[in-house]
Structures are given as structure tokens and as C-alpha cells.
Structure 1
Amino acid sequence: MIEHIVLFKFSDRTTKEQKEEGMRRLIKVKETIPGIVDIQAGINFSERSEGFESGLTVRFESKEALEAYGPHPAHQEVVAYLKEVGMRDTLALDFECL
């Protein structure tokens, strides 16, 4: 299994509703992108986030499924929405589960 973790920062003009909508759209890609075992997303509530406001975890069947996810049109559509509403930075980490 492969775990993909992404943290998001947004501009000051991005509303909580827009962030939540972005996370909902990310979760929904499981319906169209093959190889996703599980996907979770949400808004940060702690003070430990160093400015990152939302998070995403995706578990994939394989490295090949992760590689296909990035350029997939359904994923790119959500990325376009996130940029449109003010996403300004991300931090990603991918690892193979032990």
C-alpha cells in the first residue's frame, strides 16, 4: 500500500466553505480514479499546523496507481478549483506502508 499525504495553505480571501468544498471534491475523486483504497480530507483545527489549513490522505493499491492519480483529469479538475479559490502552497509526502 502507498500513502499519499498533502497539506494545503490558502490565501486570506479563501472562505471556510470554499476549503470544505475543495476537500469534498477531493474525496469524491475516489469514484472515478482507479487504484484508490481510501481517501480522507478535512480542515485543520489545531495550532500545530505551521499555517497549513487543510489535509488530505489517500491510500493507493500501488505506486502505479499513485502515479496515475496526479495527471488524471478528475484530480486536475479539483486542483484547478483549489487554485481558483486561493490555494497558495502545498506540502506532499508519499510512502510505502510497512
Structure 2
Amino acid sequence: MVVAHIILVKAKPETTEELAQEVLKDIAGLKDSLPNLVESVHLGVNFSPRSRGYTHGFTMIFKDRAALDQYGTAPEHVKIVNERIRPHFDDTLAFDYDVAEYSNPRLH
């Protein structure tokens, strides 16, 4: 079953938007460096007043939970978390779910 991995982060006060965009581009690059694990990556900057302070977010799609589990320990992922995300963002929120069969359109 297809799995969605949603991450929301809060930029640290000293993190410029230019730097935040560079980090998002690094995250997007995980699709190319881990093509057998990451099906797609969608990233962006929050514009909702209901964000509770979260400034940036991304959604990754995996073919199944096993791929998500492998991604979690992949050196490429661990490096970006430790060297790019943690130094520039606080208070990460993760939400993972199996994409329901009745989703429209259905992700394959």
C-alpha cells in the first residue's frame, strides 16, 4: 500500500528564506539519490494563518512502509536531517499514513 510521509518544520529565527529554499532543494534531491525508495516529493512554504508557526513543509510518497523504513535509515536521508534540517529548523512534525484505497485520484 502506498504511504505518504508529511513533514512540517519551523524555520529558526536566523534562517533566511534563501537558505530555507536551499534546504528544500536538498530534500527534493532525495528523489534522485534514492530513486528506488522515494516515489515523489512535494515541498513548499506555508501561507495559511492556521499553521501554528510551521513555516515549511513537504510530502513524500513511498511505494510501501518497507520503503519508508529504508528511507529512515538511508545515509543520504540521515545526512540531510543532521546537516541541513536540524541546524536551520525547529520543532519538526511528522505524519505518516497509508493512502486509502478510495483516495481520488488513487496513487499507484
**Do both proteins adopt the same fold according to a TM-score greater than 0.5, normalized to the shorter chain?**
yes
Greater displacement, 15-24 / 31-40: 31-40
Q: TM-score, normalised by structure 1?
A: 0.92
For 2:21, give the aligned amino acid: E
When normalised by structure 2's length, the TM-score is 0.84
Q: CA RMSD in A?
A: 1.0
Counterpart position of 1:28: 29
Stretches of structure 1 lacking an aligned partner (at least 5 in a row): none
SS of the residue corresponding to residue 52 of structure 1 reads: coil
Alpha-carbon offset, residue 75 of structure 1:
1.0
Segments of 5+ residues of structure 2 without an aligned counterpart are 101-108
Deviation at 1:70, TM superposition (A): 1.3
SS at match of 1:70: helix
Q: Which residue of 2 aligns with 1:83?
A: 86
Q: Between Structure 1 and Structure 2, how many residues are aligned?
A: 97
**Shift in Å, 1:13:** 0.5
Larger radius of gyration: 2
Cα distance in 2, alignment partners of residues 95 and 82 from structure 1: 22
